[in-house]
């Protein structure tokens, strides 16, 4: 019986990041599907697991639950090559984990979600605002990656996994990734890493605005 339980939504790139690291670590786990548009995160039981009602959540031994995708990546990567032990490199990894959540995710994943589920049209001012921010983010990443294969130091790390989770979906949010050649070669480099999987699903019909029950409606 695996000691890890992943509360998981297959269309979420935050959840995909955790599935990707688990696959690359070769860790077995129990997958607990959470349909966030069928009210699964709105129950009292789910609130006890995660008062913020988001996915992913990682259940570990002794009925403890880890929240926040990147905090889960740090936990799983501890003492592995996916998280450098040297203080400076470790700090740089954390910097990218923060940047992914504050800047990358809203511009790419947030826009993908809203466009694909009919919450925003491409010409809505909020879509345009996110798109402008995304151009800045992707330009910045392309500059950073112009002379390196990975985001931190010389080795593939959870910084790459986290940022990859939300950059590889940028085309689904309407970005033309061929504008950023260094990002494209980095995306290929990530996809060539041992144990790589890609099992992110499109949003199902019940994710459309008004079609289900979630914190978004």
Ligand X SMILES: N[C@@H](CCC(=O)N[C@@H](CS)C(=O)NCC(=O)O)C(=O)O
Considering only residues 69-98, where is the footprint of ligand X by CB under 6 A?
69-70
Pick the stretch among 7-15, 25-33, 76-84, 185-193 that binds ligand X (CB under 6 A). Answer: 7-15
Give which of 64, 63, 41 is closest to 52, Cα–Cα. 41
DSSP 59-113: EEGGGEEEESHHHHHHHHHTTSTTS--SHHHHHHHHHHHHHIIIIIHHHTHHHHH
Pick the stretch among 21-29, 62-70, 87-95, 163-171 that binds ligand X (CB under 6 A). Answer: 62-70
CB of 39 or CB of 181, closer to ligand X: 39
What string marks each residue from 100 to 119 as x (binds ligand X by CB under 6 A) or -?
A: -x------------------
The first and second tokens of residue 76, run together, are 């799983």
Residue 40 Cβ vs ligand X, minimum distance, rounded to whole Å: 8
Give the residue, chosen from 54, 108, 117, 157, that forms a contact with ligand X under the rule CB under 6 A: 54
Rounded to 10 degrees, the C-alpha dihedral 89/95/97/98 comes to: 160
The reply on whether position 163 binds ligand X by CB under 6 A is no
The reply on whether position 214 binds ligand X by CB under 6 A is yes
The span from the CA of 158 to the CA of 151, in Å, is 9
CB of 55 or CB of 157, closer to ligand X: 55
What element of type H or E holds 57? strand 57-60
* Number of residues written out for the chain: 217
* Chain residues that interact with ligand X, rule: CB under 6 A: 9, 12, 14, 36, 41, 53-56, 68-70, 101, 214-215
């Amino acid at each position: 019986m695996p000691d890890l339980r992943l509360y998981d939504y297959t269309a979420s790139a935050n959840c995909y990041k955790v599935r990707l690291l688990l696959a690359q670590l070769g860790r077995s786990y129990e997958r607990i599907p959470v349909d966030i548009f069928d009210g699964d995160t709105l129950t009292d039981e789910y609130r006890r697991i995660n008062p913020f009602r988001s996915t992913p959540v990682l259940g570990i031994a002794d009925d403890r639950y880890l929240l926040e995708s990147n905090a889960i990546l740090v936990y799983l990567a501890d003492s592995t090559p996916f998280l450098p032990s040297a203080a400076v490199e470790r700090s740089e990894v954390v910097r990218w984990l923060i940047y992914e959540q504050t800047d990358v995710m809203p511009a790419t994943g947030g826009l993908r979600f809203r466009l694909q589920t009919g919450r925003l049209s491409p010409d809505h001012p909020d879509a345009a605002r996110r798109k402008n921010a995304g151009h800045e983010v992707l330009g910045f990443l392309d500059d950073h990656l112009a002379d390196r294969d990975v985001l931190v130091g010389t080795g593939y790390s959870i910084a790459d996994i986290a940022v990859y989770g939300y950059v590889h979906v940028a085309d689904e949010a309407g970005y033309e990734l061929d504008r950023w050649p260094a990002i494209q070669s980095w995306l290929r480099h990530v996809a060539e890493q041992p144990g790589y999987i890609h099992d992110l699903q499109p949003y199902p019909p019940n994710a459309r605005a008004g079609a289900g029950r979630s914190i978004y409606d």
